[in-house]
Amino acid sequence: MRKPLIAGNWKMHKTLDDARELVTGIVDGVGKLGASDGVEVLICTPFTLLFPIAKALANTPVMFGAQNAHEEAQGAFTGEVSVPMLKDTGCTHVIIGHSERRHVFGEKNDRLAKKVRAVVDAGLTVIYCVGETLDEREAGKTREVIESQMGEVIDSDVLADRLVVAYEPVWAIGTGKTASPEQAQEVHGWVRASLASTYDKTTADGVRILYGGSVKPGNAAELLSLPDVDGALVGGACLVASDFIAIISAAAASVPA
Ligand code: PEP
C-alpha cells in the first residue's frame, strides 16, 4: 500500500521569523492530528531556510526538502546549489522539474534527467513534476506531453524507491483552477502506465504519484480519494498552517482503516 505524502512547496516565500512561526503551526497541527503513522508530511523550503528548518524539525515527524538542485556536484556555477550541499542540511527530498523551473527558467527534459539522476544517486528522494500547459491540453496533447516528460527523464536506472512523481497541470498551479477528479485520475493512470513500461507493473504500483494544482482544504478529500492519487504537492495552501493541516487531515482520512 502506498502511504500518502503531503508535500508543501513554499516557493520563494518566508524569511526566517515567518518560517519558524509556520513550522511551529505545522508541527503542532500534525501532533494534534496524530496522523504521522498514516501520512508522510514534507515541506520544501527556500535554500536559505534549510539549516534552521532542520533544527526546528528535529525529533518531529515532518520532513524537509529543497525545490531545485544543480546537476553537477560542484563547479563554476554562480548562484546554484548542488545535491551534496543539500545533503549537508539533512534534507531528504528535492523537487525537480516544477513547472516554474520548466516554463520560467527554461529547464528541458534532457537537463531534468541529469538533475533527477543527481538527486537519486546521492540517496535523496526526488519529487519529479510533470504537467501540460492549457494550450497543450486544449490541443489534445496532454498524454503525449506527459509521456515525453516521463519517458525522456525517468529511465530504469533511476531507483524507483527514491522516486515520487507529481502531476501538476500548469493551468491549475496558483490559478484556483483544479483538475476534475476524472482529469486527475486519467493522467495519473498514464503516469503509472509509463512507470510500468519503464520498470514493471509491481514497481510502478509502488511509486507514489502526487496531484498538484490549487489543492485546498475544500477539494483535497475528493482528489485524495482517487485510486492513483497518492498525495498532494501543495503551493499556496501550504503557507497557512491551518490549511496545510486540513489537507493532511483529508489525506489521513483517505487511508483505509
Ligand atoms: C505548486 O507550486 O506546486 C502548486 C501546486 O501551487 P498551488 O497549490 O498554489 O497551485
pLDDT tens, residue by residue, 204-252: 999 999 999 999 999 999 999 999 999 999 999 999 999 999 999 999 9
Closest atom of ligand 1 to CA, residue 98:
3
As a whole number, the mean pLDDT across the chain is: 96
* Cell numbers at 85, concatenated: 550541499
Domain carrying residue 199: 5-253
Please provide the DSSP assignment of 172-239 as one string.
GTTSS----HHHHHHHHHHHHHHHHHHS-HHHHHHSEEEEESS--HHHHHHHHTSTT--EEEESGGGG
- For the chain, helix (H) and strand (E) counts, in that order, are 11, 8
Q: Are 222 and 181 in contact (CB under 8 A)?
A: yes
**pLDDT computed for residue 16 by the predictor:** 97
Instruction: Specify the residue with its C-alpha closest to ligand 1, atom 7.
Output: 235
**pLDDT computed for residue 34 by the predictor:** 80
The catalytic site residues sit at: 98, 168
**pLDDT computed for residue 256 by the predictor:** 80
pLDDT bracket for residue 33 (50, 70, 90): confident
Tell how far the Cα of 234 is from the centroid of ligand 1, in angstroms: 5
Q: Are 38 and 72 in contact (CB under 8 A)?
A: no
Number of independent structural domains in the chain? 1
Distance CA 64, CA 51 (A): 10
**What CATH number did the domain enclosing 47 receive?**
3.20.20.70
Query: 0.85 cut: is pTM over it?
Result: yes
Q: Is the pLDDT of residue 174 over 90?
A: no
Q: Are 215 and 247 in contact (CB under 8 A)?
A: yes
Q: Is 52 exposed, middle or buried (0-12, 13-18, 19+ CB in 10 A)?
A: middle
